Structure 1
């Protein structure tokens, strides 16, 4: 495909301030940023834990889309203090009064067991607690937008596990399974969008999550063996990012889960019910507040 977005969405992209996390060259985050640059957004904020890789993506945008402004942001979602520092930096930019679209794209996948310096299981911390904290800390700037939107990148891997509320840390690793932990974090991504839509929909916020493919058969899930799960290339994955970030009609489908440039059907697309449950979303929100040590009441 020559373009990663429907040309009809170009007007929705033009003039916007977009912040995307996880932007190392060769990743979906970088590809998303490079593609939307062609539609002339006002500013693309490139956030990641390696500022040099973020700058490499900024340089690529400068070459392919001359005149599009970019700004890099050091954001290490594995650390709560680093996440707070990044949010404080964004909030301190007086020349950027609003963020129209936040795309929480960064994440890690099925790594060996480890704890962060804050004492949390690493996948849950990086894939959920960091984005939860960062999103809420810059919510003032997001709500300053005329059409605020938050996109949370999840995965078919949410099928691997619900939220283990009794012990999200897997008994300090004693009960750890890398795919179950990954699944828990991906379920948390979907539930974050549900919770944001519930809390802030009346204030104009649109929040959605979107699907990226993983190898379900690794966990013995029948969808993987049946061939119904197909891995996307960068261009295909970016297309759903762009749809989630800019499709105007999604305002009428707040909190929904997306795949293949459309709203997913829970009955056809085998979305697990635990990822869409509003009660679970509220329960996770309150647990997340407790773990990060800060309440966000809207």
Structure 2
């Protein structure tokens, strides 16, 4: 592969990174390469068994790694809160240089999170919105910090529907996936705007892996017992997908390369499918200021996480928040950020 690659990652010594979904796929590669280049890395994963196994593997591949596993279930706001609290308790006074919002689910059958949200929207967007807000004070006090949120080229499948964020008026799994990935980009857009308004140098950027070989493609058919479809998905990965080592490069570029701009979207250069990282095309609706503000207000209401550290940008009022809470049939929790 020509162009920027993992060997171009600058020295990360003295930096701390949290990577969600780091037990496999591009999340694992992202965590491993950050550790290989000197960063202290926290593998934030839902499964204790898979997280511990990933940590063991990472340490075997990078013996000098400063890495640890901490449990985080993005489908449960209580778990998100506990993760942030444990981080504050165990790393008192420390900063956070890098948050990689990588974990995600794709095209699942209709399910709800622990808090009653449609799973793809709840995990891919709301969980990361809450996590970012809770860790934001640490990021704000760390010079040169970055927040990288992993979206997908498949965001083109659908804009968000503010009148049906939880797909209660009809569920199509790929449409819901596209909406959640559009939400990732809108979140990045609005976060970058709010950071700029405060004069912060924290960079909020987005990335996508193109078509990379991960467990995402086969997860839904495996969950439903559709063995033929699962085999087809795995065969497609072998024939068409680039390896996870290549799929992680856009995330690593957005996280570490010099000159990464706020609200940028990095992906594979070759048709957004594979190749070295570069500027990626994105749908115009992911750059809509009004839509970003509406999604932000709704996300605050649904999660109970309000970005108190970013004052002066939110248009939410108590009545607005209460209306947004009713979007979800699940009970949200009020978490200070």
Tell me whether the two structures share a fold, i.e. TM-score over 0.5: yes
Q: Is the 8 A contact 1:4 1:35 kept in 2?
A: no
Q: Deviations over 1:113-169 (max 9, x none)?
A: 012231111110000000000110011111221111000000011111111101112
Q: In structure 1, what is the equivalent of residue 244 of structure 2?
A: 234
| Residue equivalent to 1:280 | 291
How many residues align structurally?
272
Spell out, residue by residue over 1:50-72, the C-alpha distance to the aligned partner (whole angstroms, 9 max, x if none). Answer: 12212222212222222221111
Contact 1:208 1:254 in 2 (8 A): yes
Correspondence for 1:15: 14
- Structure 2 match to 1:37: 35
Paired residues for 1:199-238 under 5 Å: 199-201=194-196, 202-213=199-210, 231-238=241-248
Aligned-pair CA distance for 1:277: 1.7
Out of 59, 70, 75, the position equivalent to 1:73 is 70
Alignment correspondent of 1:255: 263
SS at match of 2:33: helix
Partner of 1:28: 26
Report the Cα distance in structure 2 between the residues aligned to 1:3 and 1:31, rounded to whole angstroms: 18
Contact 1:34 1:60 in 2 (8 A): no
Partner-residue secondary structure (3-state), 2:9: helix
1:166 equivalent to 2:182? Answer no
Gaps of 5+ in 1: 216-229
| Secondary structure of 2:90 counterpart | coil
> Are the equivalent residues in 1 in contact too, given 2:209–2:248 (CA < 8 A)?
no
Partner of 1:189: 184
Q: Secondary structure at the match of 2:36?
A: helix
Q: Secondary structure at the match of 1:66?
A: coil
- 1:163–1:184 CA contact under 8 A, matched in 2: yes
What residue is the counterpart of 2:215 in the other structure? none
Cα RMSD, aligned residues only: 2.1
Return the alpha-carbon distance in structure 1 between the equivalents of residues 113 and 78 of structure 2.
12
Q: Deviations over 1:256-288 (max 9, x none)?
A: 111122222xxxx3x211112222111111110
Whether contact under 8 Å (2:150, 2:184) holds in the other structure is: yes
Supply the distance in 2 between the matched residues of 1:107 and 1:58 (Cα, whole angstroms). Answer: 19
| Residue 34 to residue 249, structure 1, CA distance change in 2 (3 Å) | same
Deviations 1:173-194 (A, max 9, x none): x510000000000001111111
Contact 1:4 1:236 in 2 (8 A): no
State the partner residue of 1:151.
148
Tell me the distance in 2 between the aligned counterparts of 1:214 and 1:62. Answer: 27
Aligned to 2:103: 106
* Partners of 2:264 and 2:10 in 1: CA distance: 22
**TM superposition score normalised by structure 2:** 0.76
TM-score, normalisation: structure 1? 0.85
